[in-house]
Structure 1
Amino acid sequence: VYISPDRRVGLGFRRLAIIDLSPLANQPMANEDGSIRIVFNGEIYNHTVLRRQLEQRGHRYRSRSDTESILHGYEEWGPEVVHKLLGMFAFAIWDENRRQLFFARDRIGVKPLYYTQTASGKFIFASEIKAIAQHPEVIREMDEEAFVHYLTYLVSPAPRTLFRNIYKLEPGTRGVVDRFGNLQTERYWDPLSPNGSQPTIDIDGNPVARSAYIDEFESAHLGRGDSHGSKMAAKPAERESFAVQTVRALLTRSISDRMMSDVPFGVFLSGGIDSSTNVALMASALSGSGRPVDTFSVGFRDLEKYNELQYARLIAKQFQTNHHEVIIDSRLAMDFIPELPYYQDEPLADPVCIPLYFVSRLARESGTIVIQIGEGSDEIFAGYPWMLRELKFHNTYWKFYGFLPRFIRQAIYVTAAIVLNARGNYLPLEYLRKGTFGEELFWGGAINFTEIHKRRLLSPSFFAQLESSYHIAKQFHEDALQRDGNADYLQRMVYVELRNRLPELLLMRVDKMTMATKVEGREPFLDHRLVEFVMRLPQSLRVKNSTTKYILKKAVEGLIPDEIIYRKKQGFAAPMNEWLRDVWYPFAEDKLLNSSLMRSGYFNLDFVRGML
């Protein structure tokens, strides 16, 4: 804990030691004269590169920790230090000389940062909402607008949380609170970089002005012109070959970088292409060391259609890993449910939190503290079958429907509403509603309650006060086109995922469940260098001849078995339907119908009972 002499600033930290286990790396950490202090959650994978550069400029280190590289980096570069960092991070720096607090969240949003400002002007921040909620001036109330968006997106989109006046910093964002309590934030990174023009990191961990991979791909292989103004005809075979080699190289380096640790590390292994690639490249990096990869898998008792253990075992056998498994059933999962809200901080409507918790606990019990996870690959490489369906629908029927005069679309919608409402076919009706009123087709990859559903789910008085959740998706689409006016629809879909569902739902379920068991999760597929490159690839290299994840599959051919690469996607899921038909139903019915939320006046109780 640090408290300033005037008692106007306080910083506190609980450490999960990964790099430099000595007390010298404890936080809050100060610079040489104590004028700058930092608290930092995450890992900086290029910190040794930065250390060499900073030591050459006269900075003196007292530890081996990556925290100190951020600290000295801020002394040297100020707020621009964020562009020098390769890794996952949420940090805050108190600058006594400037009398300001500087804070930032990593580019992709792997690590969270929450904050609030109280009525008396206090700025309070933390990596968990529960810490902020302990302050006596923080009032715990539900943000009704965030709640309504949660019903649509399964999570409250940033910057809102389910708690009124408690916010989450968006990915790729930095901010400053000055001595008067004025807060300013700005985005410093975006998934779509126009012509690769934003600052980045090269493959060796050095900060650079722009991506050489993007420059080479777009000039030599897309015919967009090189630095000398010449143009070359695009050659599909060369273009694909270069993309395959680059993806393989960036992924290999990303996995190697994320093996940086002073504690044991391993891989969560589902047996899919992503986790299997993780294992293969980690095993290659460890070859000659005599150390096997530690792998961890989770299965479900008596529910074989959800299990991928046979594929996980195939990979474990091929790469001779030290393999661990845990099997969970409905009773074990239900016993965990009362603990889940505490670990989640705010509701994350994703049952995968349950198996994630148990496989994380298995890793910790085995002595493994750092875990690599395949999260994010399906988003950036377009690996979901629904992406292909949405893309085909958008490029055919949707475009045709949009050409119809609006009065004809309205007539079709009104007529269809009568028929489809009577049949309970709400999804086709929602598509028609979007097309009729000129909304974007794609709002996100896990839309739960549509606007039509919410009209039925919520009480008429509450629904009448609400704004549609569409403006959130609309803003993401507009941002994508502003960054790149030539972005195809697949790029826009991936962009929407990278702005909302990935950072605020998928990455938070990983972070919350791993941190709950004192394990650190690392996501090599979300190395921002890889994301920047893949986001510039044309649709034909991500989805080809109805093959999703095309470029990744080509990049890992020969690395893992074709049986794994080209098997039908199963996905990491929890068997909620089966569990709800088992011992869960009475428990779930009681908790839902007798909750204070059901007595709040928000819901149409007849509709809720009908759903059950």
Structure 2
Amino acid sequence: MCGLAGMLLPAAQTPAEVLQAQALAMGQALHHRGPDDGGTWVDAAAGIALAHRRLSILDLSPLGHQPMASADGRYVMAYNGEVYNFATLRAELEPLGHAFRGHSDTEVLLAAILQWGVEDTLQRANGMFAIALWDRQEQCLWLARDRVGKKPLYYGWAGDALVFGSELKALWQHPDFDNDIDRDALTLLLRLDYIPAPHSIHQRCYKLMPGRVLRLDAAAVAAGASAHRPEQAQRPYWDARARMQAALAAPFQGRIEEAEEQLDGLLRDAVALRMVADVPVGVFLSGGTDSSLVAA
């Protein structure tokens, strides 16, 4: 499962040891998501701290440890999820001069971002993920979430600091986090039995929308802390409605037998991608049509 957390300050005002302790506490709150390994990374001069808890699935060695830096040191990433087509991306990157020490999808993601940039890489990535990426060159933080939002990612303000994490309990660890309830979100919960993104149960705290990215630097953090409406800065890199409309505009024209054959091929390909692991793989079978097809 894995989990990530961290914070970005509007100015370099906190000693490294304090940032380290805060990041460690935020990461420890997510221990249940990643009992196999944990790590933190701090740059006090930039006011950034990242924490990660790891459930080891790919590359069980220390070469899969996170937060992980790119080969040139420009990017540092804490990442929760799995990019199913990482082997294909790696095969594209190696002829372009990228060398790999291990065989984790995390390392491939970082190399892809070096080669193609953040949003182009997200367009190429087939998977489920939540990403926190620090760009040391541009001094900015990228937060990203997979296309349909399978992996959670919250962000909000603790005083004037931006805090983010896979679960709210990570954000709660910051001493300045405001636990006030958002009454509008509570109304949504009572009406719908859940709180839709970008809202969360707390004021000044939001869910990153599926298929979107958020780019923040120190100035944006300071502005967001005062404006209290940072969810407007989320930018889509993938549009489900546009993909649906494109599919409806070009419907399948073949016979039912051809449709069955194509569906069988797609299912086999999708399941095979998800079977790639360095640990045993299982399936939760509820007995419905979809899970029965996957299990079969």
In the alignment, which residue of structure 2 is the partner of 1:98?
138
CA apart distance, 1:136:
1.0
Matched, 1:254 2:270: yes
CA apart distance, 1:162:
0.9
Matched, 1:169 2:208: yes
Cα distance in 1 between the residues matched to 2:79 and 2:65: 10
Matched, 1:265 2:281: yes
Alpha-carbon contact 2:158-2:174 (below 8 Å) kept: no
Cα distance in 2 between the residues matched to 1:196 and 1:70: 29
Q: How does 1:210-225 map to 2 (within 5 A)?
A: 218=250, 221=253
Residues 150, 177 of structure 1: alpha-carbon distance in 2 compared, 3 angstrom cutoff: same
In the alignment, which residue of structure 2 is the partner of 1:533?
none
Task: Give a deviation string over 1:421-443, Cα, whole Å, max 9, x none.
Answer: xxxxxxxxxxxxxxxxxxxxxxx
Letter in 1 for 2:197: A
Find the residue that maps to 2:218 and give its secondary structure. coil
In the alignment, which residue of structure 2 is the partner of 1:107?
147
Matched, 1:87 2:136: no
Q: Unpaired runs of 5+ in structure 2?
A: 1-39, 222-229
**In percent, how many aligned pairs have the same letter?**
39
Residues 24, 168 of structure 1: alpha-carbon distance in 2 compared, 3 angstrom cutoff: same
CA apart distance, 1:269:
1.9
In the alignment, which residue of structure 2 is the partner of 1:62?
101
Letter in 1 for 2:259: A
Find the residue that maps to 1:11 and give its secondary structure. strand
Residues 219, 136 of structure 1: alpha-carbon distance in 2 compared, 3 angstrom cutoff: closer
CA apart distance, 1:137:
1.3
Letter in 1 for 2:193: L
In the alignment, which residue of structure 2 is the partner of 1:277?
293
In the alignment, which residue of structure 2 is the partner of 1:154?
193
Cα distance in 1 between the residues matched to 2:83 and 2:251: 31
Find the residue that maps to 1:20 and give its secondary structure. coil
Letter in 2 for 1:144: R
Find the residue that maps to 2:79 and give its secondary structure. strand
Letter in 2 for 1:175: L
Give the number of aligned pairs. Answer: 246
Matched, 1:125 2:164: yes
Letter in 2 for 1:262: D
In the alignment, which residue of structure 2 is the partner of 1:528?
none
Task: Give a deviation string over 1:505-547, Cα, whole Å, max 9, x none.
Answer: xxxxxxxxxxxxxxxxxxxxxxxxxxxxxxxxxxxxxxxxxxx
Q: Unpaired runs of 5+ in structure 1?
A: 198-213, 222-237, 281-612
Cα distance in 2 between the residues matched to 1:169 and 1:242: 39
In the alignment, which residue of structure 1 is the partner of 2:234?
185
Judging by fraction of residues, say which structure has more strand: 2
Judging by fraction of residues, say which structure has more helix: 1
Letter in 1 for 2:158: T
Match of 1:138 among 177, 196, 199: 177
Cα distance in 1 between the residues matched to 2:129 and 2:150: 7
Matched, 1:37 2:76: yes
In the alignment, which residue of structure 2 is the partner of 1:299?
none
CA apart distance, 1:220:
6.8
Letter in 1 for 2:217: D
Cα distance in 2 between the residues matched to 1:195 and 1:159: 22
Task: Give a deviation string over 1:469-524, Cα, whole Å, max 9, x none.
Answer: xxxxxxxxxxxxxxxxxxxxxxxxxxxxxxxxxxxxxxxxxxxxxxxxxxxxxxxx
CA apart distance, 1:52:
1.2
CA apart distance, 1:277:
1.4
Cα distance in 2 between the residues matched to 1:219 and 1:133: 48
Matched, 1:245 2:261: yes
Cα distance in 2 between the residues matched to 1:101 and 1:136: 22
Alpha-carbon contact 1:158-1:170 (below 8 Å) kept: yes
- How much is the aligned-residue C-alpha RMSD, in angstroms? 2.0
In the alignment, which residue of structure 2 is the partner of 1:570?
none
Q: How does 1:469-480 map to 2 (within 5 A)?
A: none
Alpha-carbon contact 2:46-2:139 (below 8 Å) kept: no
Asked which structure has the greater CA Rg, the reply is 1
Find the residue that maps to 2:116 and give its secondary structure. helix
CA apart distance, 1:58:
1.1
Cα distance in 2 between the residues matched to 1:251 and 1:171: 23
CA apart distance, 1:155:
0.8
Task: Give a deviation string over 1:118-154, Cα, whole Å, max 9, x none.
Answer: 342x211111110011101111111110011111111
Residues 18, 118 of structure 1: alpha-carbon distance in 2 compared, 3 angstrom cutoff: same
Q: How does 1:571-582 map to 2 (within 5 A)?
A: none
Alpha-carbon contact 1:70-1:81 (below 8 Å) kept: yes
Letter in 1 for 2:150: V
Cα distance in 2 between the residues matched to 1:43 and 1:95: 21
In the alignment, which residue of structure 2 is the partner of 1:582?
none
Cα distance in 2 between the residues matched to 1:270 and 1:6: 50
CA apart distance, 1:74:
1.0
Alpha-carbon contact 2:209-2:234 (below 8 Å) kept: no
Q: How does 1:242-391 map to 2 (within 5 A)?
A: 242-280=258-296
Cα distance in 2 between the residues matched to 1:196 and 1:26: 41
Alpha-carbon contact 1:123-1:181 (below 8 Å) kept: no
Q: How does 1:406-421 map to 2 (within 5 A)?
A: none
Cα distance in 1 between the residues matched to 2:42 and 2:111: 21
Residues 276, 157 of structure 1: alpha-carbon distance in 2 compared, 3 angstrom cutoff: same
Cα distance in 2 between the residues matched to 1:186 and 1:174: 5
